[in-house]
């Protein structure tokens, strides 16, 4: 995530509002956090703060759970997607390095 996250990535929504938006109970939301499916930030007082992206993730999790997918399987799929994103990022960096080397472009 960049230093200035987009509105979708900013953690500003309380668990109560997330519960209303998703239809999930606060207990379900905390359970999905325990299962490492969503990662809220904590305020100084320990209150959870979620982003719009977290809300979308929770809705997706709820849909998958309704279809009978286990939380372990959801987590494994999330990890697989993250590994693919990281690999693409590495490939882009290598490609940029090759272009810079080929054309003599140097970072300043």
Question: For tokens 């999790």, what's the residue?
Answer: 61
CA 38 from chain centre, in angstroms, equals 7
Share of the chain above pLDDT 90, in %: 77
**Could you tell me the residue ranges of all domains in the chain?**
1-69, 70-108
Alpha carbons 9 and 7: distance in angstroms, whole number: 5
Alpha carbons 37 and 91: distance in angstroms, whole number: 26
Q: Mean pLDDT over residues 47-67, rounded?
A: 97
What pLDDT does residue 24 have? 97
- What sign has the CA pseudo-torsion 42, 30, 54, 93? positive
How does pLDDT run across 7-42, given as a tens digit for each residue? Answer: 899 999 999 999 999 999 999 999 999 999 999 999
- pLDDT at position 102 over 90: no
Alpha carbons 55 and 25: distance in angstroms, whole number: 13
- pLDDT at position 80 over 70: yes
Query: Looking at the domain 1-69, which fold is it?
Result: Multidrug-efflux Transporter Regulator; Chain: A; Domain 2 (1.10.1660)
What pLDDT does residue 1 have? 45
The phi and psi torsions of 48 (rounded to 5 degrees) equal: -80, 140
| Helix, strand, or coil (residue 99) | helix
């Amino acid at each position: 995530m960049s230093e200035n996250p987009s509105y979708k990535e900013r953690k500003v929504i309380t668990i109560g509002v997330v519960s209303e938006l998703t239809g999930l109970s606060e207990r379900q939301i905390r359970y999905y956090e325990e299962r490492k499916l969503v990662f809220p930030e904590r305020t100084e007082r320990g209150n959870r703060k979620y982003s719009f992206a977290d809300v979308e993730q929770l809705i997706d999790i709820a849909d998958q759970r309704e279809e009978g997918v286990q939380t372990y399987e959801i987590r494994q799929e999330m990890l697989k997607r993250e590994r693919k994103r990281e690999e693409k990022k590495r490939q882009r960096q290598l490609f940029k390095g090759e272009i810079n080397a080929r054309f003599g472009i140097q970072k300043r």
